[in-house]
Amino acid sequence: MVGQRLGHYLITEQIGAGGMGIVYRARDERLDRYVAVKVLPAGSVSDETARKRLRKEALALSRLNHPNIETVYDFDTQQNVDFLVAELIPGVSLDHKLAAGPLQEKEIVRLGTQMVQGLEAAHGAGIVHRDLKPANLRNTPDGRLKILDFGLAQDFAKPGTESMTINKTSVEGISGTLPYIPPEHLQGEKVGPRGDIYSAGAVLYEMATGRTPFQEKSGPLLMEAILNRPPAAPTAVNRRVSPALEAVILKAMDKDPDRRYQSARELRVDLERLGSTTTITPIRKAPRRNKLWPVGVAFALVAISLAIGYRMHFIGSKPASSDPITLAILPFEVLTNEEDVGFLRVGIADAVITKLASFGRLRLRPTSAILRYEKQQADPRQVGQALAADYVATGTVQKTEERLRVSTQLVRISDGSSVWGEHYDLARSDLLGLEDTIAEKIASALRVEISTAERERLYRRYTANPAAYELYLKGRAELARLTRES
């Protein structure tokens, strides 16, 4: 193709290849400028009707004219070759940048905000990307991020393809790159703006951790993880990620579209808030200072104190990999009327104990040992000392209409400090899977390595029916209380 002409475009060199075909640098002889010519795979445009549709979509894209979106100039067919003409953007794709590892938080916020600004503009014009990923994001030498192949990726998927690989899938109308595909698309639903928000969350996750949200190596296992499992907390993968950024990423990646950011604007606003407060990459919240310092000295002291605190707290306190950890999960405290949800006190605790008991490095105090604390407001340190436990997990449950607010906390007995805590606001029907999430978060907080077999056991489910799962928890609670007399 190099040296040939497609209409008034002289092909000078190949500069890339991907799902949309081969990309060439070309000279527009009519306007005397260099452009990117994307030659589509043979057979990807089946007939003239499809060509008209794609030409119409390319025209819509050409009208966007946004600094964070690749400008599309033309869609044409010459010599039976279908091709798209776009601006030639210098720089490297984000996946090349991420090959060196995770980015600093300030850079994540800066690039992420630009990515979402592009999404916001496109969604406002009724255009959805459908294949947002690092390879479709280009970082220019002047620091700008541009989204490529906007709105066209699905249309150009080669018909009849039935590959199901980690990098690309196009099965029965499902098109995209697996690690970034929203769960609802895998279930056959049409991707809308909230699907792009999930993909943006997956890209932010990779920026923050240096890896994709799910590590499964085969297509079917990866699909199952996207559909049913939560990603590992970014802070568990990279301790330099701030809790605030983690919260933004996980909200964007929520499996339920109704619980995600409902628009790109909402996501942009939260990223901009992070950007207005991020001056250094936070590691963990540092103690407040009582005096005001000159700005330059303050930044230096904060950076030093964070570094020292990180080493003392996360390195000095880290258990040796071979040391067993003794853990007690106390019955959850029900803060509202117990008549309807009282079974959750023991039911959740017992389910989490069962999940964690399969991890070789953890020694779990059995449910029978923690039942005595079922209706007590016990001090975690006293309980831990009584049970000879290294850590104690506590929790509360509060019911509001048909929603539940579950709070959990993990306490280190040696000094009484809280090493992890989280709040879950969920519909009652979403109880299914809560035990998996809590168990994984506790294991991550304790830096317990989870093998593939242990992870499969952790997320193994025996029902997808929320009502059946509630009955199961009630049964576990009653079984735990079973005595000779009862």
What are the backbone angles phi and psi of residue 372, rounded to the nearest 5°? -60, -20
**82: annotated active-site residue:** no
DSSP 164: B
Among candidate residues 76, 131, 149, 350, the one labeled active-site is 131
Q: In Å, how far are 153, 174, 475, 483 from 368, measured between CA atoms?
A: 56, 48, 15, 11
Q: Reduce the DSSP state of residue 378 to 3 states and report it.
A: coil
Q: Are 422 and 434 in contact (CB under 8 A)?
A: no
- Residue 70 CA to residue 145 CA, distance in Å, equals 10
Task: Write out 83-122 in H/E/C secondary structure.
Answer: EEEEECCCCEEHHHHHCCCCCCHHHHHHHHHHHHHHHHHH
Positions of E strands within 19-98: 21-28, 33-39, 72-78, 81-87, 92-93
Q: Are 355 and 456 in contact (CB under 8 A)?
A: no
- Residue 68 CA to residue 77 CA, distance in Å, equals 27
- Residue 189 CA to residue 183 CA, distance in Å, equals 9
DSSP 262: S
- Pairing verdict, β 169-171 and 391-400: unpaired
Hey, which residues are catalytic here? Answer: 131
